[in-house]
Every structure is written in C-alpha cells, then in structure tokens.
Amino acid sequence: MLADNVFLKILDGTIPARIAFQDDLCLAFHDIHPQAPVHILIIPRKVIRTHAELRQEDTSLIGHMNLVAGQLARDLGLDQGYRIVINCDTDGGQTVPHLHMHLLGGRALGWPPG
C-alpha cells in the first residue's frame, strides 16, 4: 500500500495518533485540531479515497463505521447528542484523500455549515 496521505501513514504506524478504537475494518483516533470537546476521526483500513467511491461491496464496512461511531459516542458520554460528518471532495471541504467520518460532540453544534 502506497501511504501517500496522512491517514494511510497513521494506518501503517508511520505517523502517531491518539487511538480511540481499532479493529480489523477501521481505526478511530482523535483529530489533531479538535473542533469540539470530542472530535474523533473514523477511517476504514481499506483504501477508499472519498465517500463517492463507496460501492455496494462496502455496505457492511460503512455500516460498521457508523456503529463504531455510536459506540464511541456512548463510551465518551455524548448523551446529549453528537454529529457525524463526512466531507466529500472539493466542494465538501475534504482535505485528506482517505474516507473519514468525523464524530463531533460535547457541545451544542451550530447549523447550517458554512
């Protein structure tokens, strides 16, 4: 696997991260620039560059990532709610070209996004 972006480097251990959860399908770690008291990124081990690249065969993977987010939210006490965000490509504001789900919580979050 060519680790050509920061999240692939976190996956292969080249770059350290504060890991919150990991299993054979995904890795969850704390965002380096948190936008809320809880800001965790959940990424697949499979190389998928954007949400738009998801295919039928990824159904259980993306479902699993959602369940991991929900479990982390429970574990971290986000009992007032939380937000899941996936930024896709240029207009979506995606800056790292490896699919990632943001789990944000611990404060009331504004809406709509800018």
Q: How many residues does the chain have?
A: 114
Q: How far is the CB of 32 from ligand 5GP (least distance, A)?
A: 3
Q: Does residue number 55 form part of the binding site for ligand 5GP (CB under 6 A)?
A: no
Among positions 4, 12, 15, 19, the unique one binding ligand 5GP when judged by CB under 6 A: 15
69 near ligand 5GP (CB under 6 A): no
Q: Which residues pair with 82 in a beta bridge?
A: 105
Active site residue 64: no
What values do phi and psi take at 20, rounded to 5?
-105, -30
**Alpha helices, DSSP H only, in the chain?**
6-11, 59-75, 89-92
> Could you tell me the smallest distance in angstroms from the CB atom of residue 84 to ligand 5GP?
12
Stretch that binds ligand 5GP, among 42-50, 54-62, 68-76, 86-94 (CB under 6 A): 86-94
Backbone angles phi, psi at 43, to 5 degrees: -125, 145
Residues that are catalytic: 100
